[in-house]
A and B are shown apart, each in its own frame.
Chain A
Amino acid sequence: MSQSIWTKLSKIDRKYIFLVLWIAVLLPFTVKFALPLTISGLSRDFYDYLDEMPEDSIICYFWDVSFAGWSEMEASGIATLKMLFKLMDEKNCKIILVGMRGDCGPLPELTLKQLGLHPDQNPTYGEMYAHIGWIPGGSVGMSNWCKDIRAVNPNDWWGTPLDELPVMQGINDITDLDLVLQIESGGVGVVINQVVVPYNTPFLAVSIANNVPGNLPLLDSGLMTAQLGGIRGGAELEQLTKEIGVGNVNITAISTTHLAIIALMVIANLTYYARKARGEI
């Protein structure tokens, strides 16, 4: 007995679903087009806070993103870093990069290389910015680092003692920092609990889209000052800072893939109700 179109649709091989998604993700990279992007309140608050940082501020950028999450966070990570270096140039701010997991020892190094700010490329490394390695040991390690930075990281990532870096003069513990940022794909719990709660340091999060709803209570309660979410947040920050990069290239693909998923779910529901109406289920 031949099956109705609805039954065939309900039993469709998943390879065809994968094919639809492949087409949706490859299309914007072959046929280039752009859609208008409205800046959200979250991204604007993040940008405004950074833009209004006072002169001579000391900013610490925690890197807590895994290799896997970097595909999504590259846009917002690089856009934020560029904005921080702009603050360094215009307002004499000091920028300290530090990893919170093993993946984030080499990741900031790779990013600095991309921006032409690696010590091999830029002889002024260490004067106003430094990458001081990573903090092992989870919450306990972070708590230790906050009390004495040199106890956990006596040298920077390339082995130079911190005392020999001009940027680290007078910076010994968390109380010497004016702002803390975290690019994260695994949660803001460690920074909130070990940095914000004990020391009341202002905190900006650059979060993976997954974590944005869960972080909103912290934002609302004041423990977090501002939040940038996912690839869209990165694209919006690029537009605000006028440094168009990976985010704006990739955001169009977000539209096509989301439309594909919505179309699949609508077809699935139509199929379900059609089969129900025909008494097949």
Chain B
Amino acid sequence: MSVILKRREIPIALTAFFALYMMIAYHSNLPWLSEKAQLTVDIQTFAQILNVMALGLGYIAIMRLHAGYVIRRVKHPQPWHWSLWLLFVLAITTIVGLPWGNFGVRSEPLQFIFSSILLPMRGAMYAVVSFYMASAAYRVFLARNKEAAVMLAGTFVVMLTNAPVGELLGAWVGNLGTWLLTTPSMGGMRGIRICGALGTLILAWRMITGRETGYLRGAAEEGD
């Protein structure tokens, strides 16, 4: 039995069935096979709950990884006491966040964690990238050839358009920046969008016909 269940054909068939069903349901007017049909709603509800149930995968993976670091008392990639701290914070957040007693997502302790730890620190984490972007812009963004010079010029004009200081140079800066954004760049973006969508269609077709099975492969030591 497990030999049959291990075969890739069954998940590929499931992918194809659900994908084709959803596509046909959108375009169909048949009462039993349309977007509003009860079967379609049931399938979408089923898929939605299934997606939400995957929430624990990252949680368990992180727990396993850092518990392993603590048990083995590793020094790389980070000393094990940091992993212990991580597991401690994970436990505290879970305990105050689960819906029991006076705790839950709307409780004061989790609101504190959310507003004074997660919100500001995640913003700062992404903002740190701006420093490295400035450093990269200094070292790498050089007008070595015509193409780089044109790209650099476009960047400068748009930066001056976005910043109020650009208006001190005259209205032409804003007008040029807006024209670049709404005409050649918009055309280029449209071309990218159309080609990207065609690529997505082809990838979807390959997944439906079973030619693309990369998404079914797991980690090497867990796969077959």
Most chain B beta-carbon contacts within 10 A, residue among A38, A136, A140, A254: A140
Chain B residues near A268 (CB-CB < 8 A): 137-139, 141-142
Q: Is B30 an interface residue (CB 8 A)?
A: no
Are A18 and B131 neighbours in the complex by a CB distance under 8 Å? yes
Chain A residues near B182 (CB-CB < 8 A): 216, 220
Are A213 and B189 neighbours in the complex by a CB distance under 8 Å? yes
Chain A residues near B168 (CB-CB < 8 A): 35
Instruction: Considering the complex, give the chain B residue whose CB is closest to the CB of A216.
Output: B186
Given A66-B122, A136-B51, residue A254 in contact with residue B163 (CB < 8 A)? yes
Q: How large is the interface on B (under 10, 10 to 19, 20 to 34, 35 or more residues)?
A: 35 or more
Name the contact of A144 in the complex, choosing from B48, B118, B171 (C-beta under 8 A): B48
Chain A residues near B162 (CB-CB < 8 A): 209, 230, 232, 254, 258
Stretch from B39-47, B84-92, B211-219 forming part of the interface with A = B39-47
Q: Is A75 an interface residue (CB 8 A)?
A: no
Instruction: Considering the complex, give the chain A residue whose CB is closest to the CB of B134.
Output: A21
Are A70 and B163 neighbours in the complex by a CB distance under 8 Å? no
Q: How far is the CB of A233 from chain B (nearest CB, A)?
A: 10
Contacts between chains A and B (CB distance < 8 A), count: 155
Per CB-CB distance, the 10 closest pairs between chain A and chain B, nearest first, are: A137-B48, A255-B165, A71-B123, A67-B122, A35-B164, A68-B126, A258-B163, A217-B190, A14-B135, A255-B163
Q: List 28 A-B contacts (CB under 8 A).
A: A14-B135, A17-B131, A21-B134, A36-B167, A38-B167, A67-B119, A67-B123, A69-B123, A69-B126, A70-B123, A71-B127, A137-B48, A137-B49, A140-B48, A144-B48, A147-B35, A147-B44, A148-B41, A216-B186, A252-B164, A258-B162, A258-B163, A262-B160, A264-B137, A264-B138, A265-B138, A265-B152, A269-B142
- Which B residues have a C-beta under 8 Å from some C-beta of A? 26, 35-36, 41, 44-45, 47-49, 51-52, 105-106, 111, 114-115, 118-119, 122-123, 125-127, 130-131, 134-135, 137-139, 141-144, 152, 156, 159-160, 162-165, 167-168, 171, 174, 178, 181-182, 185-186, 189-190, 193
